[in-house]
Amino acid sequence: MKRERALKAVNIVLPVVGIGLEIFYGICDTACSSLQGTFLGLDLKWIGILFVAVLLVLALLPAGSRWASFARHLRILLLSGALGGETLLVRFQILHDTYCPFCLAFGACILILFIVNFAKAHRYLVLGAFLAGIAAFALFFEGSVIPLYR
């Protein structure tokens, strides 16, 4: 019972932190503002906000509701896919030697959420979703690094 409350708290707090990170990234005017990316033509910032908002809604569902089991399974599948996508986004930053602390912190939120929710997951579905996330970002992610001159 205590673990379930802690898990629910983490599943609520980290998506809120993720939304805050995406908002700060949007107003960032430091080195990270040179990183830009889209997925299917949509700005990654808005996709990130929408993604963690969905995670937040799933976390706010009552534990005893008929949707709780569905929400738990959907959450881990979404997190697995996102972790696959984050893998390619971090790779992009490494290849271009340009790092955004907001992006990396957002990725850390996804990783932590994945780790705390993994215990009750079907491993093959998680692996499939992770690989699907990698494939989706490999196919549909477009990123650029715009040099900033001062």
Residues 8 and 119: beta-carbon distance below 8 Å: no
> Beta strand 42-43 with 141-145: parallel, antiparallel or unpaired?
unpaired
Residue with tokens 């707090």: 13
CA distances from 105 to 3, 73, 91 (A): 24, 24, 15
Question: pLDDT (tens digit, 9 = 90+) per residue, 1-48?
Answer: 788 889 899 999 999 999 999 888 777 666 566 778 889 999 998 999
CA 117 to chain centre: 14
Confidence band for 145, pLDDT divided at 50, 70 and 90: confident
**Average pLDDT along the chain:** 89
Q: How many CB atoms lie within 10 A of CB 67?
A: 11
Question: Which pLDDT score, from 0 to 100, does residue 128 have?
Answer: 96
101, pLDDT greater than 90: no
